[in-house]
Structure 1
Amino acid sequence: MKELFEGVIHFNQKDFEEHEELFKELGKKQNPHTLFIGCADSRVVPNLITRTLPGELFVVRNIANIVPMYRESGEYLATTSAIEFALMILNVKSIVICGHSNCGGCKALFMEPDELVTVPHMRKWLELSACVKPQVMKMMNGEDNLAKREWLTEQVNVVHQLRHLMTYPTVKKKVKSGELNVYGWHYIIETGEVFNYNFATETFEKIE
């Protein structure tokens, strides 16, 4: 905890002062242009990857950057309510779903149930990406290449979450009218590269 407290002090004395006017404005309201849906992984830092300032991104993070399919429910729906708030209250213009390399959630899709006995809620959550595994196995066509399987799983998962996102009536309506742009990214931690999904070619292309 010492490091965290020292970080707060440094923020107050340096970073806050550098952007004091910005923070004064942000103290009154927020007006983010993008909803960033990413993994909760500690190595994925949305503002660092996109070089954005506080107030620009409305961020939702969970295991394996999953977007539950739209449904009306009396349950407590964290990701769904955040998407709703971003669209209806904040009126964001873009949504990014960002997966990443070495994703533990994606790896867990290939684990046996008894390997996930200590994380029952995560295991249940990953059922939302259950269709990813069979698709990847079909694409692998029997090839024994763990690195390739990992890469494919992370990308296929992003594509499936984009499909889930399009089940939201407001998303579908705003995309159709041109009010909203939707993107799927694959971030490679060890190289810093980000690949963007091309809907036309159904491939991921490096952003450069």
Structure 2
Amino acid sequence: MVESSIDNLFKGAIAFKEKDFLAYKKLFEDLKEGQNPHTLFIGCSDSRVVPNLITKTLPGELFVIRNIANIVPPYRQADEYLATTSAVEYALEALKVENIIICGHSHCGGCAALYEEEHFEARMPNVRNWLKLIQGVKERVLALQPKDKIIRSFLTEQINIENQIKNLFTYPNVKEKYLARTLHIYGWHYIIESGEVYSYDFKKHEFNLLKKDTR
């Protein structure tokens, strides 16, 4: 009998409890009293992007928000249900995180979908509406007249990260905390096929490869 993917997930959950959990039993016992993550990690929902794997962090270190194209909507209060906005607000005000990383990645389907809007009209209207939040990114990229799709994708992913950083500064007290250096903000571009991470330079407005001697 061929095992299904869900069978493997059930087996994995059992194996975790019987083996891996034991290695971190004391940590999980401590975490039952509450969480105190040092970093808010805002990433894409893409299954190829695994925050704890990329950052080599343990349970309790990252407060993670994931959505299509790692978008941070501009701050606003509303009667509707604002999942990402609420989570960012909670991380800032309740958890008082010290760091925020906005992590985009190569081959991002959400960013690519900006140029394929006709496919979302009927089948995925909510996705299409969500991506309206980054239409300005598309306009900026097209104004640069990239010579091929590879360059267009790279530019879209990086400009999108930069755009979400700007949106983050619309949240209450973020600018003040950032200037006071009580909150540190980073933009990362993760390259799936190489494992490389490029970090955004706020002064030069460019992404530089993370190396052992960089922070």
Scaled by the length of structure 1, the TM-score of the pair is 0.96
What is the aligned partner in structure 1 of residue 163 from structure 2? 160
Distance 1:94 1:26 in 2: 20
1:187 maps onto 2:190 in alignment: yes
Indicate the percent of aligned positions where both proteins have the same amino acid. Answer: 55
What is the aligned partner in structure 1 of residue 120 from structure 2? 116
Give 1:23's aligned amino acid. Answer: F
Distance 2:89 2:177 in 1: 12
1:172-183, aligned counterparts within 5 Å? 172-183=175-186
Distance 2:176 2:63 in 1: 20
Cα-Cα RMSD? 0.9
Of stretches 77-86 and 167-176 in structure 1, the one that deviates more from structure 2 is 167-176
1:1-208, aligned counterparts within 5 Å? 1-112=6-117, 114-117=118-121, 118-139=123-144, 141=145, 143-208=146-211
Point out 4+ residue stretches in structure 1 off by more than 6 angstroms.
none
Aligned residues, how many? 205
- Residue aligned with 1:115, SS: helix
Distance 2:179 2:199 in 1: 20
Give 1:179's aligned amino acid. Answer: T
Cα distance, 1:173 vs structure 2: 2.1
Give 1:152's aligned amino acid. Answer: L
Distance 1:171 1:93 in 2: 11
**CA deviation digits over 1:126-161, x for unaligned, max 9?**
01101011111122x3x4311111111000000000
- Residue aligned with 2:115, SS: coil
Structure 2: gaps spanning 5 or more residues: 1-5
Scaled by the length of structure 2, the TM-score of the pair is 0.93
Distance 1:171 1:91 in 2: 11
